[in-house]
Chain A
Amino acid sequence: MADDRRGEPIGASPPVRELLSAADVTRTVARIAHQIIEKTAGSADVVLIGIPTRGTVLARRLAAAIAEFAGSAPPAGAVDPTLYRDDLRRRPARALEDTAVPDGGLDDALVVLVDDVLMSGRTVRAALDALSDHGRPRAVQLAVLVDRGHRELPIRADYVGKNVPTARDEQILVLLTEIDGSDGVRIRRAPTGAEGDA
C-alpha cells in the first residue's frame, strides 16, 4: 500500500482539492439527465431511486432536470440498502436511512439507481438486493456523480458524471446544497486507516 508520492514534501497538492465546482455539479446533473432521456428514449416507466443520503437528493434533482428537458418528471424515491449490506458485522450497528418507494411501485419499471460516489460496488450490490425485494423492475440502470474506481464486484455505472482516478486512502467529498449548504465535489487525503465504503 506504500505510495511514496503522497509523502512528497515540496509542491504537494493541498489536503483538500476541488474536483467539481458548484456550477460543474449543476452542469453534470443536467448532462446525466439528458443521457437518461436519450438512453431510455423518453419511456414513461422510468423511476429514479436514490441511495441515501446524497443519492436521494441527486435523484430528486435529476427528476427535476428531466422534467425541465423532457416535459414530465419521473417519480423519484429512495431505497436504503443498509439492511442488505455485507459488512454489517464489521462495525457497530449503523443508523438506518429513509426508504420511500414511489406510489406506483417498481414492478416493470425502468429503475435508475442514483448514488453520489461509486467505489467498491458493494453498496450498489446491496441496493440491487433491496430493490428486488420491493418489486421486479424490467431493468435497472445506475447513475453516479463520481466514479472513483477500486471496484470489488462486477458492477458498472450506465451514467457517470465524472471519472476520478483515486488512491484507496483518499476521500471523495460530495457536497449538495440540500444537505451541506453548498454544491461541490472535493478530494481529500484521508487519515491513515480510514477507507471509503461507497
Chain B
Amino acid sequence: MKHLLSVSDLDATAATGLLDTADRLKQALLGREVRKLPTLRGRTVITMFYESSTRTRVSFEIAGKWMSADTVNISASGSSVSKGESLRDTALTLSAMGADCVIVRHPASGAAHRIAGWADRDRASTGTHTSIVNAGDGAHEHPTQALLDAATLRDRFGSIAGRRVGIVGDVLHSRVARSNVFLLATLGAEVVLVAPPTLLPVGVAQWPCRVSPELDAELPALDAVMMLRVQAERMHGSFFPSAREYAVGYGLSADRAALLPDHAVVLHPGPMMRGMEIAPGVADSSASAILAQVANGVHVRMAVLYHLLAGAPE
C-alpha cells in the first residue's frame, strides 16, 4: 500500500488486514503505562488540514506519536496557504522537507488524489517517497472514518458480513457515508441509506446499497444505525424546510431508538448536533458506540501508518 486515498484502494483482504492490525495494536497497548512503540522512529508524518477537525487530526497525531514518528501539524490559516500558495506547491514543499507521510483534509473532492499524483511524479525532485492519506476530501471520501466504523462494528458483533447497517441523513454532502457504503459492502454488510430525496447524491442507484425514504420502517431490522451530521457549511440552498422538520423526519429520537433491536448499536462520526440528527439521551445511551468509535480511530490510524510506513518501500 503506497497511499490511502479511497476505500476502493482496499479489497476485503486488505481492509480486514488493516482491522486486524488495529486490533493487535490495541492489544499491544492495553493496560500499559507507557503508550509508546518504537516502530516508526525517524519517520516524519505531517497533517495538512484545510478544514477544521478535532478527532481526525488529533487521532492521526496521537497515532503517529504513539509509534514514535515525528508529527507536525499545519493548517491552511497560519501557513503560506493564506498568502496564496497553491495546493501543489504546499504539498511538494512538505515532501521536499522529508515528509514520509502527508495526511490531507481538503474541501475539494479529489484533492488527495491530486497530491498523490504530484508527489509520485515529482519524487525525483523532492527526494522523498511520500505517502498520502486522505483524511476527508469534500463530499468524496474519508477512508479512515469508514475503517474505524468497521472496527467498531466488528468489536460489537465479531464480524461484519451479513449485518445490516443503516446510514441516515445528509448523504449528499457526506464523505463518511460514501466511504462507509463501499467499505461495508466490500466487507459483506448490507447497507441501507435513509435520507430525504433532496439529500441523496446523483448516481446513488449505482452504489452497492439500498435506499429508503422511511426511517421508522427500517429501524427494527437494523444491526447498526449511523447518524450523519447535517453539513450546514456545505449547504448553499435549501434542502429541507427547517431544522425542526429535519429532526422530526430523520433525527434519532428516544422514541425512534426504541424501535431498534436490543443488540443494535448507534454510531455517529462526530461532531454531533445534539437535538438535530440525534437526541442527547440516545447519544449517551448504552447502545451508543460513539466514544468507542473515537478510541478505535486512534488504533485504526496507527494501523494505516504502520502499513504505509513500517515496511520496505514498494
Are A and B genuine complex partners? Answer: yes
| Interface status of B20 (Cβ within 8 A of chain A) | yes
User: In B24-59, which residues have CB < 8 Å from any A CB?
Assistant: 24-25, 27-28, 30-32, 34, 36-39
Complex contact A96–B311 (CB within 8 A): no
Q: Give the residues from 1 to 37 in chain B that come closer than 8 angstroms, CB to CB, to chain A.
A: 1, 17, 20-21, 24-25, 27-28, 30-32, 34, 36-37
Using CB atoms, name the residue of chain B closest to A96: B24
* B311 in contact with A99 (CB, 8 Å): no
Contact present for A91 and B39 (CB under 8 Å):
no
Q: Which residues of A are found within 8 Å of B17, using beta-carbon distances?
A: 95
A89 touches B312 (CB 8 A): yes
- Can you list 20 A-B contacts (CB < 8 A)? A80-B24, A83-B28, A83-B37, A84-B37, A89-B310, A89-B312, A91-B311, A91-B312, A92-B312, A92-B314, A93-B307, A95-B21, A96-B21, A96-B28, A98-B27, A99-B24, A99-B30, A101-B30, A101-B31, A105-B31
Q: Report chain A residues within 8 Å CB of B30.
A: 99, 101
Looking across the interface, which residue of chain A has its beta carbon closest to that of B42? A89
Which residues of chain A have C-beta atoms less than 8 A from B36's C-beta?
133
Q: Does B306 interact with chain A (Cβ within 8 Å)?
A: yes
Of all chain A residues, the one with the shortest Cβ separation from B38 is A84
Which residues A112-158 have CB closer than 8 A to chain B? 129-130, 133-134
**Interface membership of A88, Cβ < 8 A:** yes
Residues on A with beta carbons closer than 8 Å to the beta carbon of B311: 88-89, 91-94
Q: What is the interface size of chain A, counting residues whose CB is below 8 A from a CB of the partner?
A: 22
Q: Are B27 and A83 neighbours in the complex by a CB distance under 8 Å?
A: no
Distance (whole angstroms) from the CB of B147 to the closest CB of chain A: 16
Name A129's contact: one of B20, B27, B38, B67 (CB within 8 Å). B38
Residue of A nearest to B307 (CB): A93
| Cα distance A105–B31 in the bound complex, in angstroms | 9
Q: Tell me whether A96 and B312 are in contact in the complex, defined as CB-CB below 8 angstroms, given that A83-B39, A129-B38 are known contacts.
A: no
Contact (Cβ within 8 A) A88 B310 = yes
Inter-chain contacts of A99 with B (CB < 8 A):
24, 27-28, 30
User: For residue A134, which residues in chain B have a CB less than 8 angstroms away from its CB?
Assistant: 32
Bound together, the chains give a CA A98 to CA B17 distance in angstroms of: 14
Output the nearest chain B residue to A91 by Cβ-Cβ distance: B312
Interface residues of A in 161-186 (CB under 8 A from B): none
Pick the contact of B312: A84, A90, A98, A105 (CB < 8 A): A90
In the bound assembly, the distance between CA atoms of A80 and B29 in angstroms comes to 11
**Contacts between the two chains (Cβ within 8 Å), count:** 57
Type the 1/0 row for A68-108, where 1 means its CB is closer than 8 Å to any CB of B: 00000000000010011000111111111111110001000
The answer to whether A93 touches B310, judged by C-beta atoms less than 8 angstroms apart, is yes
A74 to B25, CA, bound (A): 26
Alpha-carbon distance between A110 and B111 when the two chains are bound, in angstroms: 54
- Kindly state the separation between the CA atoms of A94 and B303 in the bound complex, as whole angstroms: 11
Which of B20, B37, B306, B310 has the most chain A CB atoms closer than 10 A to its own CB? B310
- Closest-by-CB residue of A relative to B24 is A96
Which 6 A-B residue pairs are closest in the complex by CB-CB distance? A93-B311, A96-B24, A92-B311, A83-B39, A99-B27, A99-B28
Contacts of A101 in B (CB 8 A): 30-31
The residue that A98 contacts in the complex, of B24, B32, B306, B314, with Cβ under 8 A, is B24
- Return A90 CB to nearest CB of chain B, in Å: 6
Q: Chain A residues with Cβ under 8 A from B25's Cβ?
A: 83, 96
Contact B24 A97 (CB under 8 A): yes
Closest chain A CB from B254 CB (angstroms): 38
A143 CB, min distance to chain B CBs, angstroms: 22
**Closest B residue by C-beta to A90:** B312
Q: Whole-angstrom distance from the CB of B78 to the nearest CB of chain A?
A: 34
Chain A residues near B312 (CB, 8 Å)? 89-92
Q: How far is the CB of A107 from chain B (nearest CB, A)?
A: 10
Bound-complex Cα distance A96 to B310 (A): 12
A133 — which chain B residues lie within 8 A by C-beta? 32, 34, 36-37
